[in-house]
């Protein structure tokens, strides 16, 4: 492939070179590859061997069969100065090649016309999915995390595949979904495979299409956080709006999900290809289309003015022609970051002319206008046409070197092995002294880079230490892409040795200001920059004081030490719009260390789709730091941590009061795979302890996920000085009904789900005076939280809204067999209505055991309409052994009209082994209120109803002030006092109108039902007296006529 010199200075690609490698695998397939007999078809990448860098997979056809090759990525090509790379350089094994030999070869029964990568089976390892264009099936190759794969598993489809993509659709959950277009003799459809246990373990959602599907793509097209699906069929573009399908929750929640909103747009000619990107610099995703008439067209939406604004559909988007006369054999559009443009670039794979056309928002090259066939007024221009040896078949952008630009993997019709095309710096500037200004300084290097068009490098070669650059005034804003690489300083051995000190610059300057995009800040120590409130800009929300201020897209901040001494206000702060930036990464060389900073990372409104991964964030031991914050009206769709190897952030030592490891004020963010409050091993508290909250939801936010349904998504949230998770609702933002999810986390335990690392306050605390919607747990096993050892309540809810608590272990270890009880109540509902604790399917069952007080306490006059159903309260996870709560199993206190159990046996709670009562309606001096229903429960036995576990006092105790409760259809036995006890009180307000009906009450130590004073109370004629249940007379059997045996009712 011939790319060198084409498109300078906007792009600077090297000539393509064939990936020369040896292969391990079946000999006939190796020979087919080596002799160019295999037909290249498809490309994808993922970190299959979990070493922190992506690997390349290629799909082929060969003699009616298929081949997949895997080339392992080479970490040394991206981090050539890391200590491990230096060691390999010393022993002669270092290589700068992007991939490592040998590659692996896998044989398939079908051609790999389509290929994708993701965790499709929910085991936290990357898998491969392939499809053939002639066989109605998908094929899953499950990965083992070491670069190996299980034999292909066939998944039948109702038609042959015409298009396929993998990625996140609808609500993001950290699991890759699979979307395929299929066709058969009757119809064409799009199938969406998505599920909490892995996409290819789920039944697909089906959408009928007007014509054979030509392409599918995923992106946020309506300004909201769920991922939308764009589909082309014939001359029509269809957009299916993303939504939360609530697949990890029970059927009651899933029944509330509306059908996908569908919009469409019709064009004059058939659409051949489609891709999505941000091509013109707006805040919204755009759609690029390649049509049969040779036109490339760009559809751009308007801007969303405010959260909750009316949804804009594709019909109203502005259409602009970019390019005419594209060959009829051109078949692929690709979005990439190949140029120095601040926006996405658009590649056109032109098979007829054996070229890749690169359209950018930068300057055009000097090709004749007739050859370019572009629209001169269009926002994108033809920057270069790259000659390819053979017709381009598949093009995949990847990061293969030290810069932030996309390199290209290109498969062509003439050779089986792909070619690699790597970006090169336009110029390299060397910092040779520690002066604040002048020749050879960092300041001059930035100025030189800004004045040199194209992406540059800044490296360091300062002769002698200390390598401290004392900044006395703000450095120049970075206005052109650049890689600033402190690891190039001789003597670097893993910890940054070039230090940037801003303490002499006064308050207000930032360290580096990235306004160009596609830049890298690597391997530097940055400290001493401080916020100036008098300089605060209300538009940009910036008052300086950040080590790195990000004001653009596609930047990488990696391998730095941010903060430490002297103090710094913020480590990394985005100033929106700032999209698709990465702070840290998935290798040790990319990890940033942040300490002695007020705010480690700040992502305010407009900072969307960014990643914070693999960092060590020590907050601030002086009590002024927040580990991570999504602030203001809130960044959306950001990821903190992740489900890939090496993505874990370890965040600790955040301040008390309002401090938090992760604070969220936006929608649709993911917090996954992190350690919050512990050491790096997850087996002890951080030193010193983290005095704030582990995670804090702030104000009305929606669609955020803390954790997930796979082991890799699990956060460890333990040993925090306040609550593990705090959800604080407010009254300033328009509420969104989408649920926030807290799933699959260990809250109060060690990383293995055992041991005591309890948070000092609640495990999960939902509070506030406004609406906040949250689901804690879910109905799939992977959604289960372990919420144990916490020094107050396991879960405490004091807010209004939709609150669902399902499928958790509250007070046990991860096995559900050991007592790790919370110090106070397992679940505390305080003046909060309409909550669901448990459910009527087995997956919704909570295990609520070992609590120092009650398993569940429902308290307060506003706590109405709550349902406690289908739980094991006081037992192990199997419901067979005692793990009792120290006070009562379930307690209500001055809380009217709540239900314990339900109308069906599916709602049954098993309530046993309590230190006092199984169910206490009212407690101590607090009344039992009115309208409590206790129905269909096992009270005193195990799950089978055959084995006694008992409660240490009464099965059901009805306290003073109780009126019109119903105790119905329960199995009440083995209790150490009475089955049901409705006593008199000195206050002369015992329980009255208490219906005790159709229960099975036997084998309790005292009475089945005890009314009034303890023990049997004699009947009185006409039953005129008052007292408990009006001192109702017990039935007396005076005669019997009939055949024995018989039942008397």
Mind listing the pLDDT tens digit for each residue in 422-448?
Answer: 999 999 999 999 999 999 999 999 999
Phi-psi region of 681 (alpha: psi -120 to 50; beta: other; left: phi over 0): alpha
Q: Are residues 392 and 487 in the same domain?
A: no
432 found inside a domain: yes
Q: What is the pLDDT of residue 622?
A: 31
Distance of alpha carbon 298 from alpha carbon 318, whole angstroms: 8
Q: What is the pLDDT of residue 331?
A: 84
Structure tokens at 243: 């939504």
Q: Which segment of 260-274, 588-602, 646-660, 862-876 scores lowest on mean pLDDT?
A: 646-660
Q: Are residues 248 and 144 in the same domain?
A: yes
25 found inside a domain: yes
Q: What is the pLDDT of residue 626?
A: 35
Q: Which segment of 722-736, 938-952, 992-1006 scores lowest on mean pLDDT?
A: 722-736
| pLDDT at 540 exceeding the cut of 70 | no
Residue 745: pLDDT band (50, 70, 90) is very high
Question: What mean pLDDT is predicted for residues 872-891?
Answer: 98
Question: Mapping DSSP to helix (H, G, I), strand (E, B) and coil, where does residue 281 land?
Answer: coil
| pLDDT at 478 exceeding the cut of 60 | yes
Q: Are residues 319 and 210 in the same domain?
A: yes
Residue 989: pLDDT band (50, 70, 90) is confident
Q: Are strands 971-973 and 546-550 parallel, antiparallel or unpaired?
A: unpaired
Rounded to the nearest 5°, which phi and psi values hold at 421?
A: -125, 115
Q: Do the Cβ atoms of 943 and 875 come closer than 8 Å? A: yes
What stretch of H or E contains 90? helix 83-91
Question: What mean pLDDT is predicted for residues 357-367?
Answer: 67
411 found inside a domain: yes
> What is the secondary structure of 12-81 as a DSSP string?
-BPPPEE----EES-HHHHHHHHTT-SEEEEEEEE-TT-SSS-EEEEEEEETTEEEEEEE-B-GGGT-TT
Domain boundary among 522, 546, 580: 522
Q: Closest by alpha carbon to 928, among 1015, 989, 1010, 999?
A: 989
Distance of alpha carbon 445 from alpha carbon 593, whole angstroms: 25
pLDDT in tens, 492-521: 999 999 999 999 999 999 999 999 999 999
Structure-model confidence comparison of residues 699 and 135, the more confident one: 135
Question: Mapping DSSP to helix (H, G, I), strand (E, B) and coil, where does residue 575 land?
Answer: coil
Q: Are residues 288 and 302 in the same domain?
A: yes
Rg (Cα) of the chain, in Å, rounded?
32
Domain boundary among 522, 550, 565: 522
| pLDDT at 701 exceeding the cut of 70 | yes
Beta bridge partners of 921: 892, 958
Residue 632: pLDDT band (50, 70, 90) is very low
Q: Are residues 92 and 43 in the same domain?
A: yes
Distance of alpha carbon 334 from alpha carbon 326, whole angstroms: 15
Measured CA to CA in angstroms, residue 336 lies from 58, 354, 740 at distances of: 19, 19, 32
Q: Which segment of 280-284, 660-664, 808-812, 840-844 scores lowest on mean pLDDT?
A: 280-284
Q: Are residues 456 and 485 in the same domain?
A: yes
pLDDT in tens, 1-41: 676 667 777 788 888 788 878 899 999 999 999 999 999 99
Q: What is the pLDDT of residue 627?
A: 41
Rounded to the nearest 5°, which phi and psi values hold at 6?
A: -80, 125
The reported pTM is: 0.95
Q: What is the pLDDT of residue 308?
A: 52
Q: Are residues 387 and 466 in the same domain?
A: no
Q: What is the pLDDT of residue 690?
A: 85
Q: Do the Cβ atoms of 69 and 103 come closer than 8 Å? A: yes
Structure tokens at 636: 């959306």
| pLDDT at 677 exceeding the cut of 90 | yes
Q: Are residues 359 and 460 in the same domain?
A: no
- Judged on CB neighbours under 10 Å (0-12, 13-18, 19+), 756 is middle
| pLDDT at 736 exceeding the cut of 70 | no
Domain containing 466: what range? 425-522
950 found inside a domain: no
Q: Are residues 332 and 360 in the same domain?
A: yes
Measured CA to CA in angstroms, residue 449 lies from 361, 455, 468, 664, 742 at distances of: 20, 8, 21, 36, 46
> What is the secondary structure of 863-900 as a DSSP string?
--S-EEES-EESB-TTSSSB---SS-SEEEES--S-EE
Residue 962 CA, distance from chain mean position: 46
Residue 738: pLDDT band (50, 70, 90) is confident
Q: What is the pLDDT of residue 1046?
A: 64
772 found inside a domain: no
Q: Are residues 409 and 463 in the same domain?
A: no
Q: What is the pLDDT of residue 538?
A: 72
Measured CA to CA in angstroms, residue 1025 lies from 780, 1022, 1030 at distances of: 53, 9, 6
Question: What mean pLDDT is predicted for residues 809-817?
Answer: 98
Q: What is the pLDDT of residue 618?
A: 80
737 found inside a domain: no
Distance of alpha carbon 1032 from alpha carbon 1049, whole angstroms: 17
Measured CA to CA in angstroms, residue 56 lies from 70, 253, 562, 628, 1012 at distances of: 6, 40, 33, 33, 77
Q: Are residues 52 and 138 in the same domain?
A: yes
- Cβ–Cβ contacts within 10 Å for residue 428, how many? 14
Residue 369: pLDDT band (50, 70, 90) is very low
pLDDT in tens, 371-387: 445 555 568 888 888 99
328-333: list long-range contacts, CB under 8 Å, 24+ apart: 328/292, 328/294, 328/352, 329/391, 330/272, 330/273, 330/290, 331/272, 331/273, 331/290, 332/273, 332/290, 332/392, 332/394, 332/395, 333/273, 333/274, 333/275, 333/288, 333/289, 333/290, 333/296
Residue 630: pLDDT band (50, 70, 90) is very low
If one counts the domains in the chain, the total is 2
Q: What is the pLDDT of residue 1022?
A: 67
345 found inside a domain: yes
Domain boundary among 487, 522, 557: 522
339 found inside a domain: yes
Q: What is the pLDDT of residue 370?
A: 36
CATH code at 358? 2.130.10.10
Question: What mean pLDDT is predicted for residues 543-547?
Answer: 91
pLDDT > 90: percent of the chain? 75
| pLDDT at 48 exceeding the cut of 70 | yes
What stretch of H or E contains 91? helix 83-91
Q: Which segment of 479-488, 540-549, 887-896 scores lowest on mean pLDDT?
A: 540-549
Question: What mean pLDDT is predicted for residues 1019-1047?
Answer: 71
Residue 732: pLDDT band (50, 70, 90) is very low
Q: Are residues 171 and 281 in the same domain?
A: yes
Peptide bond preceding 332 in cis form (omega within 30 of 0): no
Question: Mapping DSSP to helix (H, G, I), strand (E, B) and coil, where does residue 779 land?
Answer: coil
């Amino acid at each position: 492939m011939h790319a060198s010199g084409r498109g300078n200075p906007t792009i600077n690609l090297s000539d393509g070179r064939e990936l020369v490698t040896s292969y391990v695998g079946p000999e006939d397939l190796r020979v087919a590859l080596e002799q160019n007999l295999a037909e290249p078809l498809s490309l994808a990448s993922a970190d299959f061997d979990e070493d922190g860098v992506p690997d390349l997979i290629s799909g082929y056809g060969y003699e009616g069969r298929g081949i997949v090759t895997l080339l392992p990525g080479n970490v040394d090509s991206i981090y050539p100065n890391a200590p491990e790379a230096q060691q390999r350089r010393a022993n002669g094994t270092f290589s700068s090649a992007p991939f490592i030999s040998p590659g692996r070869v896998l044989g398939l029964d079908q051609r790999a016309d389509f290929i994708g990568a993701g965790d499709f089976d929910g085991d936290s390892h990357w898998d491969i999915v392939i499809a053939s264009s002639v066989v109605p099936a998908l094929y899953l190759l499950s990965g083992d995390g070491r670069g190996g794969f299980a034999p292909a598993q066939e998944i039948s489809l109702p038609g042959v595949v015409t298009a396929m993509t993998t990625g996140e659709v609808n609500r993001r959950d950290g699991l890759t979904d699979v979307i395929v277009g299929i066709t058969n003799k009757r119809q064409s459809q799009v199938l969406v495979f998505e599920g909490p246990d892995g996409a290819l373990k789920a039944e697909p959602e089906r959408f009928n299409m007007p014509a054979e599907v030509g392409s599918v793509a995923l992106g946020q097209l309506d300004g909201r956080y769920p991922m939308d699906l764009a589909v082309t069929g014939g001359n029509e573009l269809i957009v299916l709006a993303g939504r939360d399908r609530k697949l990890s929750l029970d059927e009651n929640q899933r029944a509330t999900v509306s059908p996908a909103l569908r919009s469409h747009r019709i064009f004059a000619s058939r659409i051949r290809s489609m891709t999505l990107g941000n091509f013109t610099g707006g805040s919204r995703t755009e759609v690029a289309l390649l049509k049969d008439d040779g036109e490339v067209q760009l559809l751009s939406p308007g801007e969303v003015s405010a959260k909750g604004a009316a949804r804009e559909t594709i019909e109203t988007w502005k259409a602009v022609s970019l390019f005419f006369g594209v060959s009829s054999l051109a078949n692929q559009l690709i979005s990439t970051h190949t140029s120095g443009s601040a926006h996405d670039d658009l590649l056109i794979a032109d098979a007829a002319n054996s070229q890749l056309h690169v359209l950018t928002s930068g300057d055009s090259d000097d090709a004749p206008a007739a050859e370019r066939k572009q629209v001169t007024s269009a926002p994108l221009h033809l920057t270069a046409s790259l000659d390819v040896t053979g017709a381009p078949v598949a093009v995949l952008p990847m990061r293969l070197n030290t810069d932030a630009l996309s390199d290209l993997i290109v498969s062509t019709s003439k050779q089986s092995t792909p070619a690699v095309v790597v970006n090169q710096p336009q110029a390299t500037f060397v910092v040779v002294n520690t002066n604040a200004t002048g020749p050879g300084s960092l300041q001059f290097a930035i100025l030189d880079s800004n004045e040199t068009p194209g992406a540059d490098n800044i490296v360091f070669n300062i002769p002698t230490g200390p390598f401290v650059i004392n900044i006395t005034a703000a450095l120049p804003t970075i206005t052109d892409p650049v890689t600033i690489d402190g690891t190039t300083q001789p003597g670097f051995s893993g910890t940054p040795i070039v230090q940037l000190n801003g303490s002499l610059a006064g308050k207000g300057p930032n360290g580096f200001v990235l306004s160009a995009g596609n830049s890298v800040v690597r391997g530097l120590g940055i400290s001493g920059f401080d916020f100036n409130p008098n300089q605060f800009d209300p538009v940009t929300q910036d008052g300086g004081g950040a080590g790195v201020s990000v004001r653009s897209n596609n930047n990488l901040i990696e391998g730095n030490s941010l903060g430490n001494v002297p103090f710094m206000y913020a480590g990394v702060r985005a100033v929106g719009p700032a999209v698709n930036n990465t702070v840290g990464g998935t290798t040790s060389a990319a990890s940033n260390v942040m300490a002695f900073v007020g705010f480690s990372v700040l992502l305010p409104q407009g900072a969307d789709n960014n990643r914070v991964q693999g960092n060590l964030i020590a907050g601030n031991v002086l009590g002024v730091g927040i580990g991570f914050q999504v602030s203001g009206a809130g960044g959306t769709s950001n990821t903190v941590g992740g489900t890939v190897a090496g993505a874990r952030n370890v965040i600790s030592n955040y301040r008390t009061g309002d401090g938090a490891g992760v604070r969220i004020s936006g929608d649709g963010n993911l917090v996954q795979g992190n350690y919050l409050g512990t050491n790096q091993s997850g087996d002890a508290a951080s030193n010193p302890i983290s005095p704030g909250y582990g995670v804090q939801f702030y104000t009305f936010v929606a669609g955020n996920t803390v954790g997930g349904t796979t082991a890799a998504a699990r956060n460890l949230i333990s040993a925090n000085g306040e609550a593990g998770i705090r959800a604080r609702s407010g009254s300033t933002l328009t509420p969104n009904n989408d649920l926030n999810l807290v799933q699959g986390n260990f809250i109060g335990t060690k990383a293995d789900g055992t041991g005591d690392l309890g948070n000092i306050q609640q495990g999960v605390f939902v509070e506030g005076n406004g609406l906040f919607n949250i689901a804690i747990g879910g109905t799939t096993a992977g959604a289960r939280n372990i919420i144990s050892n916490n020094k107050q309540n396991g879960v405490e809810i004091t807010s209004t809204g939709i609150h669902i608590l399902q499928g958790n272990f509250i007070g046990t270890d991860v096995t559900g067999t050991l007592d790790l009880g919370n110090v106070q109540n397992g679940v505390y509902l305080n003046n909060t209505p309409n909550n669901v604790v448990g459910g009527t399917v087995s997956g919704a069952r909570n295990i609520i055991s070992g609590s120092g007080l009650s398993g569940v306490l429902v308290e307060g006059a506003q706590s109405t309409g709550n349902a406690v159903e289908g739980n094991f309260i006081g037992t192990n996870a199997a419901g067979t052994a005692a793990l009792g709560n120290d006070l009562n199993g379930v307690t209500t206190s001055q809380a009217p009209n709540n239900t314990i159990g339900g109308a069906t046996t599916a709602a049954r709670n098993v309530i046993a082994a309590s230190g006092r009562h199984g169910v206490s309606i009212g407690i101590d001096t607090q009344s039992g209120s009115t309208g409590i229903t206790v129905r269909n429960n096992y009270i005193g036995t195990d799950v089978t109803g055959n084995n006694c576990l008992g409660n240490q006092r009464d099965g059901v105790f009805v306290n003073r002030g109780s009126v019109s409760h119903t105790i119905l259809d329960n199995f009440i036995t083995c209790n150490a006092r009475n089955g049901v006890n409705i006593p008199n009180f000195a206050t002369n307000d015992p329980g009255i109108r208490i219906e005790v009906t159709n229960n099975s009450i036997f084998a309790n130590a005292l009475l089945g039902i005890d009314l009034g004073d303890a023990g049997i109370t004699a009947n009185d004629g006409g039953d005129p007296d008052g007292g408990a249940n009006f001192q109702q007379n017990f039935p007396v059997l005076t005669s019997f006529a009939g055949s024995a045996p018989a039942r008397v009712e």
